[in-house]
Structure formats: C-alpha cells, structure tokens
Amino acid sequence: MPIGPVEYLVVGFPGNKFTGKIAPELKALVDSGTVRVLDLVFIGKDVDGSVVVFEVDELDGVAEFIAMDADVGGLIGESDVAHVAASLEPNSSCALLIWEDVWATKFAEAVRDAGGIVLEGARIPHELIAPALESLPAAV
C-alpha cells in the first residue's frame, strides 16, 4: 500500500482548556482525504504534576474524533507519552497526533521511485513564519 509522509504533532492546551473545537476541522481533513489519522492520544498533567493519558473514546464531548474514519491506535507508545509529558507544565494538557499526509502520497512515491530519500524536514511554526511573510515587500 502506498503511504505518504507521516508526521506527528503535539498541540498544547495551557490550563487544560481543551474545548474540542479542533475535532471538526481534523475530521474535515480526514473526510476530504487530505490526512489519515494513524494514532491520537490526549495527555494531561494535574496541578500536582501527575500525568494522565486518555484515548479518544475515553473523553466526553469529542464525538467528532470518535466519528472520524481513522486507523487510531498502536503507534504511540509509553516512551512517546513520557517524552511529551516531560515538557508539559502542571495544569496543562495536549493532544499527540500521528497522521499521514495523504495529499503527498504520489510525490513521496515519486521520490522513493527516483531513489531519493528525505534528509531533513520540519514544520515552521505559525508564530515564526507569519511575521516573516508579513515583512516581505509587496509583489510588483
């Protein structure tokens, strides 16, 4: 089966203020065939720093996550959770997501078929790229 690039994303929620508003947008990406969710867990720290982990089906108010056509489960292990939890502040939480960039599958196959390998890649945070793009001179 052809597979596109796979990436992980950690989305933090300071103060444990997760509202579930990202669920419909993630579902839309899945429904459109843009991404395929491979695994998703929620990690939290209480005010004392104790770590809790929730699978999607253990949370209330996230019906959109449960309704997604996704292959959720099995890739995120205990060491991944421990790594992410180590950087969480007390009284905060995050979603740890692994997804396939389905939109890039044909390009990824072409790179592999050409004998190419990805040497490096990274996502540039919005907080860095937005000001850089805004500072560029207007196009002529």
Query: Among all chains, which residue has been given the structure tokens 């998703």?
Result: 40
Beta-bridge partner residues of 52 = 44
Do residues 8 and 38 touch, judged by C-beta distance below 8 A?
no
**What amino acid occupies position 55?**
E
Q: Evaluate whether 128 touches 33 at the Cβ level (below 8 Å).
A: no
Residues 114, 115, 116, 117, CA torsion sign? positive
pLDDT in tens, 14-49: 887 877 788 888 889 999 999 999 998 999 999 998
Question: Residue 6: is its pLDDT beyond 80?
Answer: yes
Tokens encoding 19? 């509202």
99 three-class SS:
strand
**pLDDT of amino acid 93:** 92
Does residue 71 have a pLDDT over 80?
Answer: no
Q: What are phi and psi of 71, to 5 degrees?
A: -100, 55
Q: Tens digits of per-residue pLDDT, 113-136?
A: 999 998 998 889 899 999 999 999
DSSP structure class, residue 98: E
What pLDDT, in 10s, does the model give residues 50-62? 999 987 766 555 5
Alpha-helical segments (H) within 1-140: 22-31, 63-67, 78-86, 105-113, 126-134
Q: Reply yes or no on whether the pLDDT at 88 is more than 90.
A: yes
Residue 111: Cβ-neighbour burial (10 angstroms; 0-12, 13-18, 19+): middle
Q: Provide the total of helices (H) and of strands (E) in the chain, helices listed first.
A: 5, 4
The pLDDT of residue 105 is 95
Distance from chain centroid for Cα 53: 16
Higher pLDDT, 108 or 74: 108
